[in-house]
Amino acid sequence: MTGMNPVNKKENLRLLRNALRLTQKEFIERFLPLADGKPSMSIATYSNLESKDGVRMNEVILAVSERLGIDSMLFSMPPEEFAEKLHVLLSDDGAGDPRGRGNTKKGSINHLVNRLTMYFAEQIFEKRLKKGDKIESDRSLATKLGVGRSAIREALKVLEVLGMIDIRPGQGTYISSHEASFFIVPLSWSLFLNGSQIDSIVEVRNLLEVKAAYLAAGCMNEENMSKLYEISHRLHKAYMEKDFKEFLNEDLEFHICIAECSGNPVIYSMIQTISNLMRHVSGSGMVDAGQLKDIYEEHQKVYGLILAKDAKGASDAMKEHLEKSTGRYNYR
């Protein structure tokens, strides 16, 4: 998708309304109702958005996108491209009726987390928010998104756990100092929302882990390499003591640390999330003591090649290890 520009939103919003053959009043009633059914903005305010843009544009785009079940970023396309896609968007089942497939249950925390993530990310993208900024109140967010304040509070707690925001009791809620989280965490969060697709998730993990091992062989960060050494030492200790539980814990940490050594924050975030997901969906993971030995030796091979700065060797060894590990875990 080329030519993305926030300025296109007002033109594309008008194109959509005209394609649906709705007056501004009808458009507001269908797409922008409050929880009690009343319109969330006046006709004058909406008309101003279509003609001049405004601070509430993102609120409208998010609401319309949710109802139609489409990506809100489509509204940033050049109008001529957006117009070409309109017939496809509106011909999908239920898309022509705003009450159709996009009308998801507003009480879903997972769904609300995604909506808030997209809302804040667009605010950052358009430079209306930056790291460390205080965000609007839960009352304001509840009104804009058409949900209860309690649901907003629960969703914000999830975003805090993910490291995207900082809730300070008595002071308010702030964008995390790690602003980039808003463009990395949504990728990881989507994995949890699609946790039933274990086979696909494992496939993605394997691709990332092979690349991580390749990049880790070129790691120049002494702190990360020291951390990898410490984990390898603990892994050896658990292996010698036949401590299965500790071995499995260090196994996960070993893979996460290699991702950290890759120097790629997206790979690190994704592998960290997938590894945590695997903790919940896998069984004990170990079949017998013989496999304990195999896994230990495979880890040692990967670690040795990373230390030797052999990028291809490390990635090949990681690929071999992951292929052999396929049958060692039982996924629910």
189: in domain = no
CA 228 from centroid of its chain's CA atoms: 26
Cα 60 to Cα 13: distance, rounded to the nearest angstrom: 9
Domain annotation covers residue 217: yes
Can you tell me the distance from the alpha carbon of 47 to that of 253, in angstroms, rounded to the nearest whole number?
Answer: 54
Question: Nearest Cα to 213, choosing from 298, 325, 316?
Answer: 316
CATH assignment of the domain containing 117:
1.10.10.10
State the SS3 of the chain.
CCCCCCCHHHHHHHHHHHHCCCCHHHHHHHHCECCCCCECCCHHHHHHHHHHCCCCHHHHHHHHHHHHCCCHHHHHCCHHHHHHHHHHHHHCCCCCCCCCCCCCCCCCHHHHHHHHHHHHHHHHHCCCCCCCCECCCHHHHHHHHCCCHHHHHHHHHHHHHCCCEEEECCCEEEECCCCCHHHHHHHHHHHHHCCCCHHHHHHHHHHHHHHHHHHHCCCCCHHHHHHHHHHHHHHHHHHHCCCHHHHHHHHHHHHHHHHHHCCCHHHHHHHHHHHHHHHHHECCCCCCHHHHHHHHHHHHHHHHHHHCCCHHHHHHHHHHHHHHHHHHCCEC
Q: Is 324 part of a structural domain of the chain?
A: yes
190 occurs within a structural domain: no
Residue 63 within a domain = yes
Half-sphere exposure of residue 36: CA atoms within 13 angstroms, side-chain side: 3
Do 215 and 276 have their domain in common?
Answer: yes
pLDDT per position as a tens digit, 273-311:
777 666 655 544 555 678 889 999 999 999 999 999 999
φ, ψ of residue 242 in degrees (nearest 5): 55, 40
Instruction: Return the bridge partners of 135, or none.
Output: none
pLDDT of residue 314: 97
Both 162 and 77 in a single domain? Answer: no
Q: Which domain holds residue 155?
A: 109-183
Contact call for residues 227 and 185 (beta carbons, < 8 A): no
pTM above 0.75, yes or no: no
Q: Is residue 213 part of a domain?
A: yes
Do the Cβ atoms of 265 and 180 come closer than 8 Å? yes
Backbone angles phi, psi at 36, to 5 degrees: -90, 5
- pLDDT value, residue 299: 95
Q: The tokens of 114 are what?
A: 């995604």
Phi, psi of 169 (to 5 degrees): -50, 130
> Is 97 domain-assigned?
no
Q: What total number of domains does the chain contain?
A: 3
Task: Give the best-scoring range by mean pLDDT among 23-37, 44-58, 187-201, 213-227.
Answer: 213-227
Give the model confidence (pLDDT) of 213-265 as tens digits.
Answer: 999 999 999 999 999 999 999 999 999 998 888 888 899 899 999 999 999 98
* Judgement on whether residues 258 and 206 belong to the same structural domain of the protein: yes
Lowest mean pLDDT, pick from 1-15, 94-108, 272-286: 94-108
The pLDDT tens digits of the residues spanning 148-187 come to 888 888 888 878 876 778 899 889 999 887 655 555 555 5
- Whether residues 285 and 324 fall in one domain: yes
CA separation, residue 271 to residues 116, 260, 266, 299, 326 (Å): 23, 9, 9, 17, 16
Least confident among 42-56, 77-91, 103-117, 262-276: 103-117
- Environment class of residue 174 by beta-carbon count within 10 Å: exposed (0-12), middle (13-18) or buried (19+)? middle
Please tell me the predicted confidence (pLDDT) of residue 2. 41
Q: CA-to-CA distance for 145 and 44, rounded, in angstroms?
A: 20
Domain assignment of residue 319, yes or no? yes
Asked whether residue 202 falls in the same domain as residue 175, the answer is: no
Is 245 in the same domain as 179?
no
